[in-house]
Amino acid sequence: MPEAGSNVTELFRTSTAHSPSYAALSRASGERQPITDFCIPCNPYFPTPEMFDELGDRLREILTYYPSSADAITAELCSVLGLNPQTVAMGNGSTELITWIDHLLVRESLAVPVPTFGRWTDQPMETGKRVDMFPLPESQGFALDPASFVDFVRSRGSRTAVICNPNNPDGGLLPRHGVLALLDQLQDLDLVVVDESFLEFADAEADSSVVGDAVLRPNTIVLRSLGKNFGLHGVRFGYLVANPGLAGRVRAALPKWNLNSFAETVVFMLKEHRLEYAHSLRLVQRDRQEMIWQLSRLPGLTVYPSQGNFVYVRLPEGADGALLRDRLLEEHGVLVRECGNKIGSSSRYLRLVVRPQPDVQRLVAGLERTLYGMPHPSGHTAMPGQALVPAGRHPGPMPMPAAQPAPAHALPYASGTAAVDRLVQGA
């Protein structure tokens, strides 16, 4: 294997809590083939090329001058989303807000289902809190049962509870009535956080968000991520919604100028690009259905239902996710998220970001050749390296799950969440 490939895969050996950054991988790969990214859960359809052109034209201004105050940027975002600025705190990414929630509002213990977003387990452990981890049952597709989680919180005596909805990495969605029932049963806790970072990609029901309910409750915070929704992880911006007292405590602790000029520029562009944003979400929803359908046809691969912009899969018996990740990157230029370092998961699982169909076809071809040693459609032999799943160790193609729709090319678009509808309507 060329030295550049060794340098790239070596980055994963030194990254324990998260995958290496795209920039680090690009530097290590040098002049090798471009990377098709199935690891970082961005929106591939937003911003539009025209928006990127506008940002490029304003680059000197953006980089030269201080941004406006966080209050001014927050007020603009709230005018777009129809929220009261007193109930909102904006942060330099959702991770900054998780950090301040932990420091300011979490006392001795926190309960969270696993697997989930790693900062909800790592952050409180780093500050000496007890983290009570509720295992999500694989036999139920990693679906969260609210009653069982409440019983777990009571048995452990946890003072804070967190759920991600949809959950990361599996994309499981708890319907709105289930979230509200959970909040009702845990209203005596110090704090309940509903992390809705990926909710705008969901289409299972018209409105799953509990943002409107959070502002009326004394102990509830809803967390949202703008970077994930807008396809701009590098800008680092997110927000939380809570009653004015809770939101104000977090807002008062945030550093001055914690929001950068890129974040400000994008927020002030949103009113002019509501329709493009809503359309981008519908395209991701369509691509998710098609991607699930294509992955479900691979022998021995288990694909779990998802309402995020990613799909959680279990590899065939005998396949090692870390080795598969390295081979896909080195031999096919495809980057995937192997979940061996996620609590409650293992190296037999991958989280695959939803991408347009040409990219998915490249992923599927790489999986076929690397897992099973299948020949290229041209008739040439498989790519370098032995198949990870020996012949006879995997079943034939899996039948389509009964509840899974066929390819979504002709499916009507879903209406999206109420937040998206407000964005389009300019509320």
Out of 3.40.640.10, 3.30.530.20, 3.40.50.300, 3.90.230.10, the CATH code matching 49-273 is: 3.40.640.10
Question: What is the value of pTM for the model shown?
Answer: 0.85
How far lies 219's CA from each of 186, 256, 356, in Å?
9, 26, 40
As given in the structure block, the two tokens for residue 23 are 């920039």
Count Cα neighbours of 382 within 13 Å in the Cβ-side half-sphere.
17
Domain with CATH 3.90.1150.10 in the chain: 3-47+276-418
Residue 336's DSSP bridge partners are: 38
Residue type, 248: G
Dihedral sign for Cα atoms in the order 251, 263, 255, 112:
positive
Extract the tokens encoding 90. 């904006």
| CATH number corresponding to 3-47+276-418 | 3.90.1150.10
Handedness of CA 199, 279, 227, 421 (dihedral sign): negative
DSSP state, 96? H
Buried b (16+ CB within 10 A) or exposed e, 378-390: eeeebbeeebbbe
CATH 3.40.640.10 residue ranges in the chain? 49-273
> In this structure, what token pair is assigned to residue 271?
């009113």
pLDDT in tens, the chain (427 residues): 344 455 666 666 555 556 666 666 666 666 566 889 999 998 999 999 999 999 999 999 999 999 999 999 999 999 999 999 999 999 999 999 999 999 999 999 999 999 999 999 999 999 999 999 999 999 999 999 999 999 999 999 999 999 999 999 999 999 999 999 999 999 999 999 999 999 999 999 988 999 999 999 999 999 999 888 887 878 889 999 999 999 999 999 999 889 999 999 999 999 999 999 999 999 999 999 999 999 999 999 999 999 999 999 999 999 999 999 999 999 999 999 999 999 999 999 999 999 999 999 999 999 999 999 875 444 444 445 677 876 655 554 433 333 344 333 323 323 334 444 444 444 4
Q: Is 410:305 a contact under the CB 8 Å cutoff?
A: no
Kindly state the tokens that stand for 117: 């977003």
DSSP-derived secondary structure letter, 128: T
Three-state SS for 37? strand
Residue with tokens 């007292």: 245
